[in-house]
Structure 1
Amino acid sequence: MEILFVTTRNIATTCGELRLIKNRAMAMRDQFGIDSIFVSYIDKKRVEANYSGNVDKEFKVNYITYDKTKPYTFFKNLKQFHNKVIETLRNNPNIKVVIISGVISQRLLKKIKSIDSNIKIILDIHGATEEGIEYKSNKNIIYSRTFYLYSNYIFRKQLEYCDALMVVSNALKEHLIKKYPEIAGLKFFIIHCAGNIGEINIQKYYKSRQYWRKKLKIDEDECLFVYSGGASKWQMVNESVHLFLEIKDRLPFNSKLLVMSHKIDDIKLELQVNSRDIIFESFNASNVPEVLCASDFAFMLRENKITNNVAFPNKFVEYLISGNQIICTPYVFDVVELINNDIGYIYSGDIDELERFVIKNVGKPRVWDSYNNVINKVSFNSTLKELYEYISLQQ
């Protein structure tokens, strides 16, 4: 079986949406036997970067490109993008499910339905459009507001032709239904940003932990905190670092913080922090899960904004499978529902309570059953079953 995946998202260079789309498609293929053909409308510089982990290393991808530095090319090449989607469907008449991911005109969805009214269109929603105004650039306030309004307009028009929605969290589903009551009767697939992951290999965990703690020069009796992620404002790297600096002086043992990111130079420039207890490093993406095994506590702080309320960060699962205890603010609603005392702590601003939690849990043996129970809930092995059954029914 095959499906067609049509997107304007970044599937060519490292980022959260690439990991979600690629890992989800690989799980559909490897676990459920459903392959994907991609048609992508994307900035040509991203394709030219030839990133080793992009989608076309695993799947057939038809790239239609434009030049972001020349905005007129976006509109000029749009017809070519639409034509490629229609051509792909006509050349593959067995495709009965099309996933639409990104800001894509309802005109294309209408054309898809005109080929075969039985084709099912699923909208792939990664987050709330409110991100455009909650985390707008001060230099582009007018653009951010305009894009937010345009995205909402396009989404409402897409709804006229869609049969189901794929969302990353239950909170996102509830937000969308509240905002667009007319979709309450549509089929929803809740597929978290996770991966095709199995239970934690405990022997491998301890081996990786020992190797990377030695590599990072972390003493056996030292506590290691970690921040892993990008430099975007919503990821709160600044706040994570300063929370570490605040708590480390209160702890009766030595502590260090590992800040790891592919944007490490940007983070160092922004923070301007000089501390012997902070390690700044950048690692190959393939090494990140093993490096994370070296740490004891992981920061995943977020503000109380819609963007964060409905999100399901890739980082949650990365921290989980590396045996970290996750320090998370209460504003990522689906994640908060999954965190218990065995795998993390919900930080609401009480530094004394956080101090007690860290002292109580540092060096404490992991309750691996609790970690694996959560992994089983969010793994693609579990969350993709319903989507597989839906696609199978269309064949």
Structure 2
Amino acid sequence: MKILFIAPYPNEENSKDGMVQRVKHVDNIFSKYERGYLDVQHRKNFKGKTQIVDHLVKTYQLNSVVHMPAIHKILNTYDKIYVHSIAGLFYLLWILPFIDFKKIILDAHGIFPEELKFARSKKFIVFALIEKYVFSKLTRIICVTNAMRNHFIKKYPHTNSDNYFVYNILPSFNTEYISPEPLNSTDKINVIYSGNLQAWQNINLMLKVISSNDKPHIKYTILTGDVDGFKKELSRINLLHAEVLLASVKPQELPEYYSQAHYGFILRDDIDVNRVANPTKLIEYLSFGIIPIVKTPNIGDFMELGYEYISYLDFSEISQPKKSLNNQNIYKNLVKKMKNANLEGFVTNG
């Protein structure tokens, strides 16, 4: 069986991207299959590039207009078409009516039209129409949470639970973390943030919390791919010389920092986009017993799972460091659940 993934192929350059981490994880599951990766763009890839990575993997970087016949041929060459995010179908609009949807498996990743609407992008109308059309034909949809599956079932009542498969995003690095000995009041409170400066991260609110709690017994660590951007933000509020460590690290280096952290910022708004989400960052926090600092606790399935968190409004009341065995156990249970989840069977057999 040959499987075509509509996604960029995971490599060293894009490994920090949250979506690519899921692409890589899924790729590992299908490592024994012959696989293709199709990356189509409207305004790029005019020359086109096909690369044989190894005896099982081939990548295609093509333009949606210039290489239209080639794309059509590639789609027909593969037995299954695994689409990473509905955004990947935007560049295949012209061919959607001619695709055999029995071959297509959509890994939703998120609720993309709602994300665009929240960002006030006019493209949300286009993607809302694409989603409506695609969901009228799809028979296999992969969601990252039960909340996301319920969202789609409510939105598209003609679908049912048999059309869906819930598969959580898990960290790609080693999470074998051993809880430390009991801490005492002389230990510093280590607070971490892992991410960039996107609007939905509520960075201004996070920096306000840090500024209000710039105390000798609290150490802050910001791990980001945009170190210069964060330097500007910290300088703007006179925090550049406070005890804030800024660093850009590879995914496999994250455990070194997570193992020392007690609390972690994840300040999402209470909107549908976040209520159905399964942020990689939050899973990573839980795996190391980190207690999330939240704006709303209603993120994905985690309230239902009983995770331990603290509101940013109460953070100033924290006086001692603490790890959460409860959060670590939630993660371990998710790992067991995913080991028993037959994603391969859902994709290859339905």
Calculate the TM-score normalised by the size of structure 1: 0.71
What does 1:17-166 align with in structure 2 at a 5 Å threshold?
17-26=19-28, 28-29=29-30, 36-42=35-41, 60-66=57-63, 74-86=64-76, 88-89=77-78, 95=79, 97-101=80-84, 102-103=86-87, 104=89, 105=92, 108=95, 111-113=98-100, 119-128=102-111, 129-136=113-120, 144-145=121-122, 147-166=123-142
Cα 1:318/1:35, change in 2 over 3 Å = farther
What does 1:114-263 align with in structure 2 at a 5 Å threshold?
119-128=102-111, 129-136=113-120, 144-145=121-122, 147-184=123-160, 186-195=162-171, 200-202=176-178, 221-249=187-215, 254-263=217-226
1:323·1:366 contact (CA, 8 Å) conserved in 2? yes
Cα 1:79/1:390, change in 2 over 3 Å = same
* Unpaired segments ≥5 residues, structure 2: 48-52
Matched residues in 2 for 1:297 and 1:58: separation?
Answer: 44
1:266 equivalenced with 2:266 (yes/no): no
Cα 1:385/1:107, change in 2 over 3 Å = farther
Query: Which residue is 2:50 aligned to?
Result: none
Structure 2 counterpart of 1:245, which letter? S
Cα 1:201/1:254, change in 2 over 3 Å = closer
Cα deviation per residue 1:311-341 (whole Å; 9 max; x = unaligned)? 111101222233322222323132333343x
Matched residues in 2 for 1:170 and 1:385: separation?
Answer: 14
Matched residues in 2 for 1:127 and 1:339: separation?
Answer: 22
Measured after TM superposition, the shift of residue 270 of structure 1 is 3.3
Query: Which residue is 1:311 aligned to?
Result: 277
Measured after TM superposition, the shift of residue 84 of structure 1 is 2.0
* Unpaired segments ≥5 residues, structure 1: 49-55, 67-73, 90-94, 137-143, 207-218
1:297·1:326 contact (CA, 8 Å) conserved in 2? yes
Q: Which of these residues, 292, 299, 304, is aligned with residue 265 of structure 2?
A: 299
Structure 2 counterpart of 1:80, which letter? A
Cα 1:184/1:193, change in 2 over 3 Å = same
Query: Which residue is 1:345 aligned to?
Result: 309
Calculate the TM-score normalised by the size of structure 2: 0.79
2:177·2:288 contact (CA, 8 Å) conserved in 1? no
Cα 1:246/1:283, change in 2 over 3 Å = same
Cα 1:248/1:274, change in 2 over 3 Å = closer
Aligned alpha-carbon RMSD (Å)? 3.5
Measured after TM superposition, the shift of residue 187 of structure 1 is 1.4
After TM superposition, the structure 1 stretch with the greater mean CA deviation from structure 2, 262-271 or 56-65, is 56-65
SS at match of 1:181: coil
Q: Percent identity?
A: 22
SS at match of 1:171: helix
Structure 1 counterpart of 2:342, which letter? E
SS at match of 1:333: coil
Cα 1:75/1:149, change in 2 over 3 Å = farther
Measured after TM superposition, the shift of residue 174 of structure 1 is 1.9
Measured after TM superposition, the shift of residue 155 of structure 1 is 1.6
Structure number having the greater helix percentage: 1
Cα 1:179/1:9, change in 2 over 3 Å = farther
Structure 1 counterpart of 2:62, which letter? T
Matched residues in 2 for 1:163 and 1:346: separation?
Answer: 39
SS at match of 2:309: strand
Query: Which residue is 2:6 aligned to?
Result: 6
Measured after TM superposition, the shift of residue 108 of structure 1 is 4.0
Measured after TM superposition, the shift of residue 78 of structure 1 is 4.2
Cα deviation per residue 1:242-284 (whole Å; 9 max; x = unaligned)? 21332455xxx61121112011211222342323222222223
Query: Which residue is 1:69 aligned to?
Result: none
What does 1:378-393 align with in structure 2 at a 5 Å threshold?
378-379=334-335, 382=338, 385-391=341-347, 393=349
